[in-house]
A and B are shown apart, each in its own frame.
Chain A
Amino acid sequence: MHLCPEHQGPLVVETRNLRVALAGRPILDGVNFKVPKGQLVALIGPNGSGKTTLLRCLLGLQKPSSGEIRLFEGTDIREALPRIGYVPQRIDIERSFILSVREFLALRMEKARNWFWHAHKTSDEMLGTTLAEIGVEELLDRPLAHLSGGQLQRVLIAFSLLRNPELLLLDEPTAGVDAPGEQTFYDLIADIQQRRKLTVVLVSHDLSMVFRHAAWVYALNGVICCEGHPEHVMNAESLKQAYGIHVSPYHHHHHH
């Protein structure tokens, strides 16, 4: 089994010598990051290692100081955006804003260009398959601002899948979810990835959580300090130096 990015055909994401400095401090210092089509790649690193910055660069939210970004083998990020689904770390909605889940999802559907008139009539059949896949049907009429962390993440996943993206970017998607929910959530993502033949970049602070599902792992700390199969990365000396004691692959699997 050769999962190394170089042997996997077309690259959906590729950065070459990517550098970002914020307020004079280098955040990314020459990052080469490759994601082959159809793979689930994990990007791990401690807080402040530049994971979110790298993701923001890929989405065109952060301008790199230098280096190159290629998405779907092209350099125009805006052109690539319609093919990308994005699940943010968390969203912070004012409780007074009572956008319902149904209305929120309608914002992403092409046919419901103006949800104000149509969200309540037409969305059911359009949403059907995606919602069943994620299991959020019963949340449709709840306000988005009142969902629990786990429910909100599922809704955000459903939202990101509505336009059938080819690439899914998830930024620490389990930040507000409890530990058992976290593993279920990663199982769900792996399941969707396989069923839809998606390319997935999963950002996480914790390698053990993505250990079971990632085909390839990048460990980031300003630079890519280590990459490889999860088993390889887990035992790498460089990673242990970067992370200290946090690398323990079996910690979260005791209860299985």
Chain B
Amino acid sequence: MLNEPFMQRALLAALFLGPLCALLGVFVTARRMAFFSDTISHGALTGVALGFWLGMPDPTIPLILFSLLIAGAIVWLRERTELVTDTIMALLLSGSVAVGMIILSLLHRRPGDIQRFLFGDILAVGPQEVWLAAILFAVVGTGLFMNLNDLSLITVQEELAHVCGVQVRRLNLVFVIVLTLTVAVAIRLLGIILVTSLIVIPPATARSLSRNLRQQILLSVAVGMAGALGGTAASWQLSVPCGPMIVVTCIALFIVSLAWRGLRPGIAISP
């Protein structure tokens, strides 16, 4: 398995993206932004379709740009309209999936081409994706750790964070951009439909076993890495799409965490 160059690339991407998504996920779930992540990943479908339409063999650039555009649209509409954020996101999600599918149908792409973006594909991870993942991992991972204080504070309450001297608007903006870039790059491995699971499931798994945020962050990163690597390897063994395999692996870990917690009532956290 490790002798195949495509497999080396896929495992490297999983090694970088699993922990990064899991670390971001701790704050994404606590800030109730899981649907936000889902919306920008689905927005990527239009980016993929536009890339094909422009004749690009590899639509990574339009995919990332369109995800950023959708993220910007959510933020802009939330500030400028009276609409509930969920409404804005549901509108953009369904809208971009619809436009993407219409363009792809008109282009008469083979269903396999579309499916590999919907559910992830080991073969789709090229050297470019591995480099992107590595750079994101290094830059975003370091940035998150340097700003854990401020990020924790805005998660507790933005007003309180402001009074403590945090530049709330700027930090929120950076967080949205970082999340969007990570989701866009992880789509190659997990697919548009399933990418958010790597952000949501590891923190939930860690949550059942942790007593404080530090434990939750460390465990979440470990679960993200194990789920991404295990799922990618299993996907090769079983010749099934990569995204579903990673999700199933993460869910298996989640169930184990629940059982573990059930067996050790001393750790039970809920009062």
Contacts and interface: CB of A to CB of B under 8 A. Distances in A.
Interface of A: 56, 59-61, 78, 81-82, 84, 86, 88, 91-94, 96-100, 102-104, 107-108, 113-116, 119-120, 141, 143-144, 146, 159
Contacts of A88: 157, 159-160
A94 B31 contact: yes
B271 A86 contact: no
Contact of A113 (B30, B149, B160, B269): B149
Nearest to B147: A114
B212 A116 contact: no
29 contacts: A59-B159, A81-B165, A88-B157, A88-B159, A91-B157, A93-B30, A94-B30, A94-B31, A96-B207, A97-B29, A97-B30, A98-B212, A98-B213, A98-B216, A99-B155, A100-B212, A100-B213, A103-B212, A104-B152, A107-B149, A113-B149, A114-B148, A115-B148, A115-B149, A115-B152, A119-B214, A141-B212, A143-B211, A146-B269
B30 A146 contact: no
Contacts of B207: 96, 98
A120 B214 CA distance: 9
Contacts of B269: 98, 143, 146
Contacts of B26: 97
B217 A116 contact: yes
B203 interface: yes
- Give chain B's interface residue range (CB within 8 Å of chain A): 20 to 34
B138 interface: no
Contacts of A99: 152, 155-156, 212-213
B123 interface: no
Given A88-B159, A94-B30, A103-B152, A146 B271 contact: yes
A60 B164 CA distance: 12
Contact of A91 (B145, B148, B160, B165): B160
A96 B214 contact: no
Contact of B160 (A86, A98, A103): A86
B46 to A, nearest CB: 30
Contacts of A92: 157
Interface of B: 26, 29-32, 145-146, 148-149, 152-153, 155-157, 159-160, 162-165, 203-204, 207, 210-214, 216-217, 269-271
A45 to B, nearest CB: 20
A154 to B, nearest CB: 15
Nearest to B204: A96
Contacts of A102: 212
Contacts of B165: 78, 81-82
Contacts of A144: 156
B214 A94 contact: no
Nearest to A99: B213
A51 to B, nearest CB: 15
B30 A96 contact: yes
A56 B204 CA distance: 35
A172 B100 CA distance: 49
**Nearest 4 pairs of A and B residues by beta carbon:** A97-B30, A100-B212, A86-B163, A99-B213
A185 to B, nearest CB: 18
Nearest to A92: B157
B204 to A, nearest CB: 7
B16 to A, nearest CB: 21
A91 B210 CA distance: 22
Contacts of B212: 98-100, 102-103, 141, 143
Contacts of A98: 207, 210-213, 216, 269
Contacts of B211: 98, 100, 141, 143
A204 B177 CA distance: 39
A116 B26 CA distance: 14
B145 to A, nearest CB: 7
Contacts of A115: 148-149, 152
Contacts of A60: 162
B214 A116 contact: yes
B168 to A, nearest CB: 9
B162 A104 contact: no
B214 A103 contact: yes
A97 B159 contact: no
Contact of B213 (A61, A91, A97, A114): A97
Contacts of A61: 159, 162
Given A100-B212, A159-B160, 14 more contacts: A81-B163, A93-B156, A97-B213, A98-B212, A99-B155, A100-B211, A103-B213, A103-B214, A104-B152, A107-B152, A114-B145, A114-B149, A143-B211, A143-B269
